[in-house]
Structure 1
Amino acid sequence: MRRILALTLGLTLAGTAAADDLALSATEVHERVTSGDEEILFIDVRDPAEIHFVGFTDVVDANIPFRRIDLTGWNERKGVFAMPMNRDFAEEVAAALEARGMDRSDTVITMCRSGSTRGKPSAEYLLEQGFESVHYVRHGFQGDRMEEGQLAGRRLRNGWQNSGLPWSGSLNREKMAGPAE
């Protein structure tokens, strides 16, 4: 019985470690992207409306939303607008790679608000679609929420914004996704 329990725990931890292999810290991503040592396509996968209100880093190469806000759809359970997946996401990423003389074997790094709801799923999706080297920014652009005190609920821990990395409330129009079709 102990062996089975130990084996189960080992497999669970191995699965967690394997899933974590896609995650990079914001600082790691900044260093890799700005060093110029390797070809990387760094994309912000948030909806442009979210970026408009939250902020942006010009270090990214492009904004290619993984999910788009649908103002005609309402999610009653969550009390928010629906955010269906961008059907053209993989093709748009492939086109961005091609525009830079790169292909699906080159490194792609995705970043969303928190890392978990679009960053990691978008990286996993790209791998499923035949991209070979994909990562995401752990904790995303804004980072994690504070759990206690007066700042509870605010995203003030880790992530791109809270790591002292360059960002601004100004957007770079040349890098922003166009309107949803």
Structure 2
Amino acid sequence: MQKTIRTLAAILLLACSPLVFAQWAPESTDWSKLPDLKVSKLGLYLTPKQAFAMKQKEGNKVALFDIRTRYEAMYVGMATAADALIPFVEHQELMQEWDDKRHMYKLEPFQDFVPELERRLAELGLQGKDVPIILICRSGDRSSKAADRLMAAGYTRVYSIAEGFEGDTAKDGPQAGQRVVNGWKNAGLPWTYKLDKAKMYFPR
């Protein structure tokens, strides 16, 4: 009996481990099942294809901002539909500190995020706190946090692309650890390594 209880406890513990959670399926819209890291307070989400369709249909009536770091845009590429790159966090000028949890150089909050976003909105001719804004990061984590930051600044229609640009990592199989599960790039949507200087962020 005691062995059975221990076995059941082990199975329950394994089932609750994030390593065995079902991966977020491409184009899934059951937002109630979003992993906590991708959840925003506004609760507004889009799949990559929905975001692309919305941008294609509405043009400059909706803003699509890439909020990854400048390094990511430069070395990983950028969605051609994005209106601008506005980093939500950035690497330190001298990358000397390490983030053990993320297995990468540490990122710092980007103080210019809201002012730069508002400058870009003005360039697009978008005014008011109810303008539709779409945010994309690597995998939907930072975009949800950035949406919360914009909500705190008074914005009410901020959508997070829950799959991000690169998507989530595969948990097992020959491509384990690679970002091949979902995301803008994996959906076959247009992107490029050739960046448009006018869309890039430069300190002012």
Tell me, yes or no, whether TM beats 0.5: yes
In structure 1, distance between residues paired with 2:66 and 2:47: 15
In structure 2, distance between residues paired with 1:18 and 1:82: 23
Specify the code of the residue in structure 2 equivalent to 1:59: A
User: What SS does the aligned partner of 1:84 have?
Assistant: strand
User: What SS does the aligned partner of 1:68 have?
Assistant: strand
Task: Report what 1:102 is aligned to.
Answer: 126
In structure 2, distance between residues paired with 1:37 and 1:178: 24
Q: Is the 8 A contact 1:58 1:172 kept in 2?
A: no
- How far is 1:76 from its partner? 5.0
Task: Report what 1:5 is aligned to.
Answer: none
Relative to structure 1, the CA distance from residue 76 to residue 57 in structure 2 (aligned partners, 3 Å threshold; closer, same or farther) is closer
In structure 2, distance between residues paired with 1:174 and 1:126: 23
Task: Report what 2:189 is aligned to.
Answer: 165
State the TM-score, normalized to the length of structure 1.
0.83
- 1:123-160 CA-to-partner distances (Å, cap 9, x unmatched) read 11101111121011111000111111211001011110
**Which structure would you say has the larger Rg?**
2
- How far is 1:57 from its partner? 1.3
In structure 2, distance between residues paired with 1:90 and 1:18: 17
Q: Is the 8 A contact 1:119 1:136 kept in 2?
A: yes
State the TM-score, normalized to the length of structure 2.
0.74
In structure 2, distance between residues paired with 1:37 and 1:74: 40
5+ residue gaps in structure 1?
1-12
In structure 2, distance between residues paired with 1:84 and 1:61: 23
Q: Counterparts in 2 of 1:5-44, with a 5 A limit?
A: 19=41, 21-36=43-58, 39-44=61-66
Task: Report what 1:64 is aligned to.
Answer: 86
Percentage identity across paired residues of the two chains: 29
Q: Is the 8 A contact 1:142 1:156 kept in 2?
A: yes
Task: Report what 1:54 is aligned to.
Answer: 76
1:114 and 2:136 matched: no
Cα RMSD, aligned residues only: 2.4
In structure 2, distance between residues paired with 1:119 and 1:36: 21
In structure 2, distance between residues paired with 1:87 and 1:39: 26
Relative to structure 1, the CA distance from residue 151 to residue 19 in structure 2 (aligned partners, 3 Å threshold; closer, same or farther) is same
1:152 and 2:176 matched: yes
In structure 1, distance between residues paired with 2:170 and 2:192: 22
In structure 2, distance between residues paired with 1:149 and 1:176: 36
